A and B are shown apart, each in its own frame.
Chain A
Amino acid sequence: MIIVDNIVKNFGFFQALDHVSFEISKGDIVGFLGKNGAGKTTLMRILTSFLAPSSGKVIIDGDDIAKNALAIRQKIGYLPETPPLYNNMTVESYLKFAAQIKGVAANKQRIQLAKVIEECHLEQVKHKTIATLSKGYKQRVGIAQAIIHEPKLLILDEPTSGLDPIQVQQVLALIKNQREQRTVILSTHNLTEIEKIAHRVLIIKSGRIIIDQSLNVLLKEKNGMHALSQAEPQSQSATLEQIFINLHQLDSSQETNGLTQHKTRQQVTNG
């Protein structure tokens, strides 16, 4: 489904991505993990053809992104970190506009609109102006626009950022429902969320992929935590967090917040 081959992205003298390569199969849910500034958003923007790589190749569903960006965009649904919404529009008119510019056939627009409104639980707010919606609803509208044209690949950049726990559960459930229909890539800081929905994890550090493994294998193999990975969910989350922090401590121990380390150790001990 996706082949990323030796991608490099430079912004002036700053190298945001450093020879990144990976492949993602159809139907996978893959989580991108990494600190702020690690290169997750840049990588997602390259996959959506919003940015061009400085070098390297991206092939999505058989199409080279450099040669056929338009065809690739037709196959991708993308939710950026900040939901791209027009506050003066109603939910329904915004989604209709999204359907039109994403090339949904005129005779199918009404059906698709009804489908995503139902799927994203937006019935109650469909006539409301977007500016008046809660953050959770705005996020769901953002996901609705991303799936309205039935994309094969769904890319979500921190879809649960800034939401309260109930809203997080709702958005996660929504993403989980997508996995039967399409390949999903998401980035998040919340490791528990990744554990709940992803099959595979790519940990990115300073523009390089340092871990690319299935979640189960990662939890079993790293740090000899096999026993913990079989335990209750809270322990698993602590394990992944520990792995994540350990990896980032390798050559940047001064950057890591001491309080987080202490908290993580406590969680592991308690778990």
Chain B
Amino acid sequence: MGKIIALAKKELHGYFSTPIAYLMLIAMLSVFNIFFYMIISQNKEVSLRDIFQIMEFMFIFLVPLLTMKLFSEEKSTGTMEFLLTAPLTPSMLVLGKYLGIMTFFTILIGMTIIYYVIVEYFGSPDPISILSGYVGIWLEGAFFIAIGLLTSSWARNQIIAAMMSYIILFLLYFSSSFTQYFTGTVETFLIQLSTRTHLENFATGIITPSDITYYLSGILLCLVLTRLSIDNRLWQ
């Protein structure tokens, strides 16, 4: 566990030792603030449902920028050789990096709790639906990050890693938009595949085992594939 925490700390330090982390935090929070103001002033609702959906859409653009360097940079600078010849298992490496970036992501999500404080001050929002919305958006970010981690393990070039993430995330997000061309099982599959379907439930205060299973299995699948990708690199 000590090695995983050391890797996570190194990853977190990598974000905060450059202006990139601060710029991203400022940019994302600024965008969220603008939408928060627009939604609240337009809807006059003490709810964060719409803001969660805006966050979800923004994460499609943010997450690949955050994750593209995770393994790609290690490969291009030669530090991957250092990590893979240290007494670390590929699982430790994957979990360490994932924990590091998830900590950064949790800080970002944590900074939006101010929205709850604001709506609580001006009205009586349903705390359960806001809490479930936060759980949903956190799980969604964790899933997106796991996808970014996987594509980063495939590429040496950060831009290529980010492009692959964008393709996968857009397909996942918009898969429910293709239902007009299909019927029956395919239509149901596309609806269930879409991240929008699952976040919507969380954002309205409904937590179902199937939604949690969707995110957790997606995260697990990506982490296992990342581990295999590294293992394959090691023993090629």
In the complex formed, the residue of A with least CB distance to B81 is A80
Tell me which of B83-91, B122-130, B145-153 binds A: B83-91
Give Cα A83 to B77, complex, Å: 9
What residues of B have a CB within 8 angstroms of the CB of A88 in the complex?
13-14, 17-18
In the assembled complex, the CB of A108 is this many whole angstroms from the nearest CB of chain B, namely 13
Option from B78, B234, B235 in Cβ contact (under 8 Å) with A84: B78
Known: A84-B79, A100-B2. A89 touches B13 (CB 8 A): yes
Inter-chain contact A76/B85, CB cutoff 8 Å: yes
Inter-chain contact B2/A106, CB cutoff 8 Å: yes
Within 8 A of B (CB), among A126-156: 145
Inter-chain contact B87/A50, CB cutoff 8 Å: no
Decide if the interface of chain B is mainly helix, strand, loop or mixed: helix
Decide if the interface of chain A is mainly helix, strand, loop or mixed: loop
Give Cα A83 to B79, complex, Å: 8
Q: Does A85 contact B (CB under 8 A)?
A: yes
Q: Does A82 contact B (CB under 8 A)?
A: yes
Inter-chain contact A93/B13, CB cutoff 8 Å: yes
Inter-chain contact B79/A100, CB cutoff 8 Å: no
Number of interface residues of A (CB under 8 A): 30
Option from B6, B14, B234, B236 in Cβ contact (under 8 Å) with A101: B6
Inter-chain contact B6/A50, CB cutoff 8 Å: no
Inter-chain contact A102/B13, CB cutoff 8 Å: no
Option from B10, B83, B89, B236 in Cβ contact (under 8 Å) with A70: B89
Q: Mark A167-195, 1 if CB is under 8 A from B, else 0.
A: 00000000000000000000000000000
Inter-chain contact B14/A73, CB cutoff 8 Å: no
Option from A82, A83, A86 in Cβ contact (under 8 Å) with B10: A86
The 5 A-B pairs with the shortest beta carbon distances in the complex, nearest first, are A84-B82, A100-B6, A52-B235, A74-B87, A73-B87
| Other A-B pairs beyond A52-B236, A100-B6, A103-B3, 13, CB < 8 Å | A51-B235, A52-B235, A70-B89, A73-B85, A73-B88, A78-B85, A80-B78, A80-B82, A89-B10, A98-B82, A100-B2, A101-B87, A102-B86
- A-B residue pairs in contact (CB < 8 Å), sample of 26: A49-B85, A49-B234, A50-B234, A51-B235, A52-B235, A70-B87, A71-B87, A80-B81, A84-B79, A85-B79, A86-B14, A87-B77, A88-B13, A89-B13, A93-B13, A97-B6, A97-B9, A97-B10, A98-B82, A98-B86, A100-B3, A101-B86, A101-B87, A102-B86, A103-B3, A145-B82
